[in-house]
A and B are shown apart, each in its own frame.
Chain A
Amino acid sequence: MRLAFILSEIGSGLRRNVSMVVSVILVTFVSLTFVGAAGMLQMQINQMKGYWYDKVQVAIFLCSEGSTAAGCAGGPVTAEQQESLNGLLESPAVAQYINDFQFESKEEAYTHFKDQFSNSPIVDSVTPDQLPASFRINMKDPEKYQIISETFASQPGVETVIDQRQLLERLFSVMNGASLVAVSIAGVMIVCAILLIATTIRLSAFSRRRETGIMRLVGASKTVIQLPFILEGVIAAVIGAALASATLWAVAHFFLGEFMSQQYPDTAFISSGQTLILAPALIILGGSLAGISSLLTLRRYLRV
């Protein structure tokens, strides 16, 4: 009975205040979308880092079938060439610059590739044969990349030497900047949302002061009087958060999943499923912000 009563109170409160409730929904929607966008950028960065990013800096790709690089004129890398490269890496001249190195075979390369590009159709068209084997090198000083590059680029059986970190770092710094901007906008919008929720609850409490006055007189408990107002704010904010989550999902699904992955098939994009991890976080964030701000407002404007 009491629950039904509280629900009907919430319903009448939301109806009376439709325009304010809609604005609360929209403001929380926009602010949480920015929060979520920042989250998605971070997820995307992690996605692009791949298996080797945090472990090594430099990759020496070996010639494979169909390599067109000048060093690969002699066809795919042979066991002897691979052995001599291994020897060169272990020689004191080179070893002084590196911490350690690992050999990644075609099969291992394929496994890591499948992990990273699990959301991309490109996986289906790739076979272990097409992926080059490589030496992955962990540098003592990443700045000395040039030395490794010069030493190995001209060795037989080496297709190319790449400083992966340098390649990605610039992109990541752009993405980090973008997520910082998103977080700042989100911060401003969240302040806006909190103030708007407080105002809405205040108006709602004012427009129902007759009811609350009577409730007080007949001895309704504080919970029964205040809960409808608090839930009003929370419901509006949760709807906004749900909209924000749906928007992020749609961006991941349609923009990244269908458009961007066609344009850049060699880039690993986050999947729409991954963005759903953000949804509960956004809903909890929105709901608790609304709950706390309405509680504080009621403490000032609704005597019990």
Chain B
Amino acid sequence: MIRFENVTKVYDQKARPALDSVNLEIDRGEFAFLVGASGSGKSTFLRLVLKEDRASSGAVYVAGQNVAKISSWRVPRLRRGIGVVFQDFRLLPQKNVFANVAFAMQVIGKSRSVIRDTVPEVLKTVGLEGKEHRMPHELSGGEQQRVAIARAVVNRPGILLADEPTGNLDPTTSMGIMGILDKINQNGTTVVMATHDDDIVNEMRKRVVELKNGVIIRDEAKALYTSMIPVVGQSRRLKDASGRENPEPGQPHECEGRR
């Protein structure tokens, strides 16, 4: 479903590449965690899948298509096949829950009747039935993230990208969100989730791809957040890093900056 062939992404010629000759294949229907410290290249990976950026070299294939070869007017079609969820939810504050989810269908020209049928169904999937008319500020963080997930999957994309979707949530709420993502995955959607949340990764026991300085240093099935294969020196540092993860909600980048 997603294939990276020798992909390198350089933002700044003087700095080290954000991704350095990455080779990776994620199959249809798979659930993969992308872990690694900040700046390890997780977000760059997701941006390349969405064709928000171009790879400096190498090829990115999404659903069998080389994204570099997709002309700019067909990029929207690519993005319709990909749902995205962010740490900061990105809901529209002046629209209620229903309208936020419906927005994703309106902008691609779905008819009113289809929207009326589909949105409640999706809201039910994420466990928000009966809250259609709430405004985003009336919802808890977990509920807001559920709305965001509903919006991401309402057009039934084949791929769901999640960029630290639990970064702003407490552990219990996070587990609820993971349950939803798992359910979506079991319905056949490929899920790629970038995360710092070791508890969740350890709980889920899915495929884990670990990036460090733009290089894949680990790719294990049914793995934990930290490697079970001890590597002298490296595993020690990784544990250190994971111990400092789980930042305070609302200021996730501050502690990363200090590192």
Binding site for B on A (CB under 8 A): 1-2, 5, 210-211, 213-222, 224-225, 304
Shortest beta-carbon distance, A217 to chain B, in Å? 5
Of chain B, the residue at the smallest CB distance from A5 is B106
Q: Are A219 and B76 in contact (CB under 8 A)?
A: yes
Instruction: Write out the residue numbers on chain A whose beta carbons fall within 8 Å of the beta carbon of B77.
Output: 219
Instruction: Write out the residue numbers on chain A whose beta carbons fall within 8 Å of the beta carbon of B152.
Output: 218
Interface set, chain B 71-128, CB cutoff 8 A to A: 72-73, 76-84, 90, 92, 103-104, 106-112
Q: Are A2 and B109 in contact (CB under 8 A)?
A: yes
Of chain A, the residue at the smallest CB distance from B95 is A211
Q: What are 28 A-B pairs at a CB distance below 8 A?
A: A1-B106, A1-B111, A1-B112, A5-B107, A5-B109, A210-B92, A211-B92, A211-B103, A214-B90, A214-B103, A214-B104, A215-B103, A215-B107, A217-B50, A218-B107, A218-B108, A218-B155, A219-B76, A219-B77, A219-B80, A219-B81, A219-B108, A219-B155, A220-B76, A221-B73, A221-B76, A222-B76, A224-B108
Please classify the interface of chain A as helix (H, G, I), strand (E, B), loop, or mixed, using the class held by over half of its residues. Answer: helix
Q: How far is the CA of A218 from the CA of B161 in the complex (A)?
A: 12
CB of B151 closer than 8 Å to a CB of A: yes
Q: How far is the CA of A224 from the CA of B151 in the complex (A)?
A: 18
A-B interface contact total, Cβ < 8 Å: 58
* Contact A218-B109, Cβ < 8 Å, known A210-B90, A210-B92, A213-B90: no
Q: Are B84 and A217 in contact (CB under 8 A)?
A: yes
Shortest beta-carbon distance, A215 to chain B, in Å? 5
Of chain A, the residue at the smallest CB distance from B90 is A214
Of chain A, the residue at the smallest CB distance from B110 is A1
The residue in A214, A216, A222, A224 that gathers the most chain B C-beta atoms within 10 A of its C-beta is A214
Q: How far is the CA of A210 from the CA of B93 in the complex (A)?
A: 10
Q: A210-B92, A218-B152 are in contact. List 12 more A-B contacts (CB 8 A).
A: A218-B80, A218-B104, A218-B108, A218-B155, A219-B76, A219-B78, A219-B80, A219-B81, A220-B107, A221-B76, A224-B107, A304-B72
Shortest beta-carbon distance, A143 to chain B, in Å? 67
Instruction: Write out the residue numbers on chain A whose beta carbons fall within 8 Å of the beta carbon of B83.
Output: 218
Q: How far is the CA of A210 from the CA of B89 in the complex (A)?
A: 11
The 4 closest A-B pairs by CB, nearest first: A219-B80, A220-B107, A219-B79, A218-B104
Instruction: Write out the residue numbers on chain A whose beta carbons fall within 8 Å of the beta carbon of B84.
Output: 217
Q: Are B73 and A222 in contact (CB under 8 A)?
A: yes
Q: How far is the CA of A225 from the CA of B72 in the complex (A)?
A: 14
Of chain A, the residue at the smallest CB distance from B93 is A210
Q: How far is the CA of A1 from the CA of B109 in the complex (A)?
A: 6
Q: How far is the CA of A258 from the CA of B90 in the complex (A)?
A: 61
Interface set, chain B 38-95, CB cutoff 8 A to A: 50, 72-73, 76-84, 90, 92
Q: How far is the CA of A72 from the CA of B50 in the complex (A)?
A: 95
Of chain B, the residue at the smallest CB distance from A220 is B107
Q: How far is the CA of A218 from the CA of B79 in the complex (A)?
A: 6
Instruction: Write out the residue numbers on chain B whose beta carbons fall within 8 Å of the beta carbon of A304.
Output: 72
Q: Are A220 and B108 in contact (CB under 8 A)?
A: yes
Q: How far is the CA of A1 from the CA of B83 in the complex (A)?
A: 22
Q: How far is the CA of A220 from the CA of B79 in the complex (A)?
A: 8
Q: How far is the CA of A210 from the CA of B91 in the complex (A)?
A: 8
Shortest beta-carbon distance, B51 to chain A, in Å? 11
Instruction: Write out the residue numbers on chain A whose beta carbons fall within 8 Å of the beta carbon of B76.
Output: 219-222
Shortest beta-carbon distance, A17 to chain B, in Å? 15
Instruction: Write out the residue numbers on chain B whose beta carbons fall within 8 Å of the beta carbon of A217.
Output: 50, 79, 84
* Contact A216-B106, Cβ < 8 Å, known A1-B111, A1-B112, A211-B92: no
* Contact A218-B111, Cβ < 8 Å, known A210-B90, A211-B92, A213-B90: no
Q: How far is the CA of A217 from the CA of B73 in the complex (A)?
A: 14
Pick the contact of A216: B73, B79, B81, B109 (CB < 8 A).
B79
Shortest beta-carbon distance, A293 to chain B, in Å? 22
Q: How far is the CA of A215 from the CA of B78 in the complex (A)?
A: 13
Instruction: Write out the residue numbers on chain B whose beta carbons fall within 8 Å of the beta carbon of A222.
Output: 73, 76
Q: How far is the CA of A2 from the CA of B76 in the complex (A)?
A: 16
Of chain B, the residue at the smallest CB distance from A2 is B109
Instruction: Write out the residue numbers on chain B whose beta carbons fall within 8 Å of the beta carbon of A216.
Output: 79
Instruction: Write out the residue numbers on chain A whose beta carbons fall within 8 Å of the beta carbon of B155.
Output: 218-219
Shortest beta-carbon distance, B65 to chain A, in Å? 14
Of chain A, the residue at the smallest CB distance from B109 is A2
Q: How far is the CA of A225 from the CA of B84 in the complex (A)?
A: 18
Q: How far is the CA of A214 from the CA of B107 in the complex (A)?
A: 10
Of chain A, the residue at the smallest CB distance from B155 is A218
Shortest beta-carbon distance, B32 to chain A, in Å? 20
Shortest beta-carbon distance, B76 to chain A, in Å? 4
Shortest beta-carbon distance, B159 to chain A, in Å? 12
Q: Are A224 and B109 in contact (CB under 8 A)?
A: yes
Instruction: Write out the residue numbers on chain B whose beta carbons fall within 8 Å of the beta carbon of A225.
Output: 107
